Amino acid sequence: MDASTLALSRVHKDWLELFPEEFKTTANLLNNIKDFAPNLEDVFKVFEIPPSSIKVLILGQDPYPTTGDAMGLAFSVKRNEKLPKSLQNIFKELHSDLGLIRTSGELSDWQSQGVFLLNRYLTAPIGHPLGHQKLGWEVLTDKVITHLGKLNVVALLMGKPAEEFAPFFKKVVITPHPSPLSAYRGFFGSKPFSRINDMLEEPIKW
């Protein structure tokens, strides 16, 4: 089994029916790169859930470019891994917003509730943030993002690159990025989690 076939085994059939050529094209990228995050079998993990189950999009840029952290969901890390700074800041705002204390950075429980944690670029070379920015992932991910805009999904867009997709969504929450460089420029105090839940019939249990 080659790299592309293994990676695609995680993708729900509804996604493959929607974007067959885009998945084929981007999966083939995996046959030509090495030493990247996340692990090969986790590259398409975000697509395990069908489009019909998605209620919220949280858009990231690319995976954590460190060995053992990224696990296929934007901002999430493997269980028991140390929390990266951006995720620490997300959890600080979660506590400020809703009074919730969260210690695990593994966000699969959000995914299971219909939160789609998508990175625009699905891989990153180890040690090089945004190193795969021009690899070609947006052939798939940009179409996925615009498709979600047609499904009445609530979008959380953090930072200027993510904000570019705001026109595609009727329900959108825009904040600065939670990175240490920008968290104090308006992310803290933005109350994204309560704002998202206010737009949903059934709130997310963050």
167 vs 62: CA distance, rounded Å: 21
**Alpha helices, DSSP H only, in 33-152?**
85-98, 108-111, 138-149
Length of the chain (residues): 206
The arrangement of strands across the sheet holding 154-158 comes to: 115-119, 56-60, 154-158, 171-175
Tokens, residue 19: 């974007």
User: In whole angstroms, how large is the CA radius of gyration of the chain?
Assistant: 16
Tokens 């083939």 locate to 28
Active site residue ranges: 62
Please list the residues that pair with 62 across neighbouring strands. none
